[in-house]
Chain A
């Protein structure tokens, strides 16, 4: 089971790195989103996979009645999902605004902050 997930995580990383190497902003964003999922899966797998029941304690007990799955990786993944989701939403809006203002989604052409043909600095005093 771990092996299968490890291979899947590898595929996720490959896809995300391939997408992030692209010049189009939207593809890069998709790459970042998939990178987030790869990381989440890897945390989940690092917490060891078991066939135990979900870690929910029944209402009439104070301790779980039997062995449950490790809840910590689930909490970590949930936190990471929340964070990467909100970042993705924000970056999507940002990329859309940048596309509207700059008229391009090709990162090579986004040179407003660092103009390409900047004149040389003053050479003498």
Chain B
């Protein structure tokens, strides 16, 4: 699999896929898309990069272990349900923060935080499974 063409293209392709996965993630609130599918796209970006350039360089590129990414995702997803406690509403009731930023309407919300958490869980979990499989193959 490690042809010159693939190895040259793979970094750009992976970068593009990660960018696209973030687009899908943010689009997910009102239109088809969301954390899970975005996370899958990002995890496949990691997998492609791993096939082309080796698992070691992927691990170097993402700095932290994929399972820690998943742990962080789970952490913020669980936390995103808590703010409604202070407004005397039930768990996971969505809270919104709307403001204008240079004349653009920005709506930040707890569902967005939850979605980012899901994204990170999927990237971490599926990414670590993919990397584990690729590592064994090259041994």
Q: Are B132 and A93 in contact (CB under 8 A)?
A: yes
Which of A78, A86, A92, A100 makes the CB contact (< 8 A) with B126? A86
Q: Are A93 and B133 in contact (CB under 8 A)?
A: yes
Q: Are B32 and A89 in contact (CB under 8 A)?
A: no
Asked whether any CB of chain A lies closer than 8 Å to the CB of B22, the reply is: no
Query: A32 to nearest B CB, angstroms?
Result: 17
Which of A56, A82, A89, A92 makes the CB contact (< 8 A) with B36? A82
Q: Are A59 and B30 in contact (CB under 8 A)?
A: yes
Number of A-B contacts (CB under 8 A): 17
Query: B138 to nearest A CB, angstroms?
Result: 14
- Size bracket of the B interface: 10 to 19
CB-nearest residue of chain B relative to A86? Answer: B125
- Tell me whether chain A's interface is mostly helix, strand or loop, or mixed: helix
Cβ proximity bits A85-97 to B, threshold 8 Å, 1 near / 0 not: 0100110110010
Asked whether any CB of chain A lies closer than 8 Å to the CB of B31, the reply is: yes
Question: Given contacts A86-B125, A89-B126, is CB(A96)–CB(B133) below 8 Å?
Answer: yes
Q: Are A93 and B129 in contact (CB under 8 A)?
A: yes
Asked whether any CB of chain A lies closer than 8 Å to the CB of B2, the reply is: no
Query: A29 to nearest B CB, angstroms?
Result: 14
For A89, what are the chain B residues with a Cβ–Cβ distance below 8 Å? Answer: 126, 129
Cβ proximity bits B47-84 to A, threshold 8 Å, 1 near / 0 not: 00000000000000000000000000000000000000
Which of A56, A82, A96, A100 makes the CB contact (< 8 A) with B32? A56
Query: A36 to nearest B CB, angstroms?
Result: 16
Q: Could you list 9 examples of A-B contacts with CB < 8 Å?
A: A56-B32, A59-B30, A86-B125, A86-B126, A92-B133, A93-B129, A93-B132, A93-B133, A96-B133
Q: Which A positions have Cβ atoms within 8 angstroms of B?
A: 56, 59, 78, 82, 86, 89-90, 92-93, 96, 100
Closest 4 pairs between A and B when the two form their complex, measured CB to CB: A89-B129, A93-B129, A59-B30, A82-B36
Besides A56-B32, A93-B132, A100-B136, 14 new A-B residue pairs in contact (Cβ under 8 A), listed by A number: A56-B31, A59-B30, A78-B36, A82-B36, A86-B125, A86-B126, A89-B126, A89-B129, A90-B129, A92-B133, A93-B129, A93-B133, A96-B133, A96-B136
